[in-house]
Structure 1
Amino acid sequence: MTESLHVVCPHCDTVNRIPQDRLRDQPTCGKCKQELFTGKPLELTSQRFPQHISRNDIPVLVDFWAPWCGPCLSMAPAYAQAAQQLEPEMRVAKLDTEAAQELAAGYSIRSIPTLALFKGGREIARQPGAMSASDIMAWARRHAGLT
C-alpha cells in the first residue's frame, strides 16, 4: 500500500490526502474540484502562509520578494519556469514581503529575493539572491533530498 500525503489546495486552502504514487496523475481538490498542481508559483499571503507551510507533506519552496525589487522581477520568469518542473515534487510559492512585512521580519528576511525551503513545517534551507531556473531547481531538489 502506498503512503498518502497531505497536499494543501492552492485555490481554497483545503488539506487533501493523496496517495504518493498518484501525485503525477493531476489530482484535484476534494472540496473545490480544481487541480492541486498548476505548474505556477502560488501567491501566498500572511493568512495563507501558515496553512501551506505546516500542512503540506511535500516540501514548500517560497520566494520572498517585493514588487519594487529589480532582481526579484528579473528572477520571476525563471522562478515560474522552475515551478513547472518542480511540481508536484514540491509546492512552489511566492510571498510579497511588502504586503507581509511582519511575516518576513519573523523569518528574518534581510535581502530579497530570498528562497526558503520548508519541510514538515520548518525551514530547512535558505538562499538569498537571484538565480536561474536551472539553479533554482538544482538547489531546491538538493536541499529537499529529491536528487
Structure 2
Amino acid sequence: MEKSEDDELERLKREKMKEIMGKKQGSEFPESPLRITDSNFQNIVDEYPIIVVDFWAEWCSACKPMSPLIERMAEKYSGKIVFGKLNIDKNPKITNRFQITSIPTLLFLKNGSAIDKVIGTISPKQLEQKLKKYLD
C-alpha cells in the first residue's frame, strides 16, 4: 500500500472506532496529552471512552522519565486512547478521589470508570501490553 492509502486507512479506523464507541463523529482525539485539572476532569472523561491519566508533580524525579513516554503513546494511540497529565499539587480533588498516594501513577479509565492503575515507572513495552488489552 502507498503512504496515502495507509493514511486513509488509519483515518477510517479512527472514525469507525469513534462510531463504535458512541462518540460524536466530529470529536477529535488529541495527539498529545491533555492537561487535566479538577475542573475539567469530568468533561474529559465524558468525552472519550478510554483515558490514561498520568498523576505527577514537578518535584517528582521518578515522574520525569514518564513524560516522554506519555507523549509518544498519546501520538501513537491517537484516535483510540486519550492521555492526560494531572499535577497532584494543583488538583487535590481528583487526586484524593482516586486515592493517589504515590507518584508517578497511571490511572486507566474506560467509559468513566477506573479499570486499572500502575504505580511507579513502567517500560514502553509494559505500557503497550496494557493498552492493547483495553482496545480488544
Verify same fold: TM over 0.5: yes
Q: Alignment partner for residue 77 of structure 1, among 68, 72, 78?
A: 68
Alpha-carbon displacement from aligned partner over 1:100-143 (angstroms, at most 9, x marks no partner): 0122011100111111111111101111111122322222222x
Q: Is the 8 A contact 1:43 1:95 kept in 2?
A: yes
CA distance in 2, matches of 1:134, 1:52: 26
Amino acid at match of 1:61: V
Q: Secondary structure of 2:53's match?
A: strand
State yes or no: 1:128 paired with 2:119: yes
Provide the residue aligned with 1:40 in structure 2: 32
- Aligned positions of 1:97-108 closer than 5 A: 97-108=88-99
RMSD (Å) for aligned C-alpha atoms: 2.0
Structure with the bigger percentage of strand? 1
Shift in Å, 1:4: 6.1
Q: Larger radius of gyration, structure 1 or 2?
A: 2
Q: Indicate the residue corresponding to 1:90 in structure 2.
A: 81
Q: How far apart are residue 62 of structure 1 and its match?
A: 0.7
Moved over 3 A (4+): 1-4
List gaps (5 residues or longer) in structure 1: 7-16, 19-27, 30-35
SS at match of 2:22: strand
Instruction: Read off the aligned partner of 1:5 and give its amino acid letter.
Output: G
Instruction: Give the alignment's TM-score, normalised by structure 2.
Output: 0.78
Please identify which structure carries the higher helix content. Answer: 2
Indicate the percent of aligned positions where both proteins have the same amino acid: 25
Q: What SS does the aligned partner of 1:72 have? A: coil
How far did 1:48 drift?
0.6
Number of the residue aligned with 1:117 = 108
| TM-score under structure 1 length normalisation | 0.72
Report the secondary structure of 2:101's partner residue: coil
Instruction: Please state how far the C-alpha of 1:70 moved relative to its aligned partner.
Output: 0.6
State how many pairs are aligned.
Answer: 119
